[in-house]
Structure 1
Amino acid sequence: MIAYIDIEHISLSRDNERWQARLGRVLKVKYRLEAISGLPCLIMRYEQVSPARLDELGIRAVLISGSATELPHYGQDELAGMTAMFHQVSRPTFGFCGGQQMMAHLLGARVAPINETESGTMATGGWQERTHELGFTAVKATGPHHLLSDLSPDLQMFEAHYWELKEIPAGFHNYASSAVSPIQFIAHETLPLFGTQFHPEAFDEAHPDGQKMLANFFQLL
Structure 2
Amino acid sequence: MTMVPPVAGRLIAVSQRVDVIAGRNERRDSLDQRWTGFLDACGLLPVAMPNTASPALAAAWLEAVAPAGILLTGGNDLTAYGGDAPERDAVEALLIEHAVARRIPLIAVCRGLQMMMHHFGIGLERVTDHAGTDHPVALDGGGTDTVNSYHNWGFRSVPPGFTAWATAPDGVVEAVRHDTLPLLGMLWHPERNAPYRAVDLELVRRHFRGDR
TM over 0.5: same fold? yes
TM-score, scaled to structure 2: 0.75
Residue 215 of structure 1 pairs with residue 199 of structure 2: no
Give the distance between the partners of 1:198 and 1:174, measured in 2 at CA.
Answer: 14
Paired residues of 1:132 and 1:161 also in contact (CA < 8 A): yes
Change (3 A) 1:179 1:52: farther
Number of the residue aligned with 2:67: 59
| Alignment map for 1:114-153 (pairs within 5 Å) | 114=127, 130-143=128-141, 153=143
Tell me the equivalent position of 1:9: 18
In terms of fraction of residues, the more helix-rich structure is 1
In the superposition, relative to structure 1, how do residues 206 and 35 fare at CA in structure 2: closer, same or farther (>3 Å)?
closer
Offset from partner CA, 1:64-113 (integer Å, 9 cap, x none): 11114344325666533322332342210001011000111122111121
TM-score normalized by the length of structure 1: 0.72
Aligned pairs, number = 191
| 1:40 partner letter | L
The one-character-per-residue Cα deviations of 1:15-57 (angstroms, maximum 9, x if unpaired) are: 89xx99x95x612212220221x23211223443845532321
Check conservation: 1:157, 1:207, Cα contact below 8 A: no
Indicate the structure with greater strand content. Answer: 2
Q: Percent of counterpart pairs with the same letter?
A: 21
* Aligned mate of 2:106, from 60, 80, 93: 93
Give the letter for the 1:26 counterpart: D
Question: Quick one: which of 32, 43, 50 aligns to 2:48?
Answer: 43
Residues 70, 107 of structure 2: 8 Å contact kept: yes
In the alignment, which residue of structure 2 is the partner of 1:121? Answer: none
Structure 1 range deviating more: 76-85 or 190-199 = 76-85
What's the C-alpha RMSD, in Å, of the aligned pairs? 3.0
Q: What is the alpha-carbon distance in structure 1 between the residues aligned to residue 110 and residue 95 of structure 2?
A: 18
In structure 2, C-alpha distance between the alignment counterparts of 1:142 and 1:74, rounded to whole Å: 35
Letter in structure 2 aligned against 1:65: T
2:18, 2:88 within 8 Å by CA — same for their partners in 1?
no
8 Å CA contact retained: 1:173, 1:187: yes
1:139 and 1:104 map into 2 onto residues whose CA distance is 19
User: Can you give the 5+ residue segments of structure 1 that lack an aligned partner in the other structure?
Assistant: 115-129, 145-152
State which of 87, 93, 97 in structure 2 corresponds to 1:83: 93
Q: CA deviation at 1:158?
A: 1.5
Counterpart secondary structure, 1:175: strand
Unaligned 5+ segments in structure 2 are 1-10
Letter of the aligned partner of 1:84 in structure 2?
L
Once the two structures are superposed, what CA deviation does each residue of 1:165-219 show, in whole Å capped at 9, x if it has no partner? 2421232111111113531111111110111111122222385432332233233
Q: Is 1:180 aligned with 2:185?
A: no
Code of the residue aligned with 1:106 in structure 2: it is: H
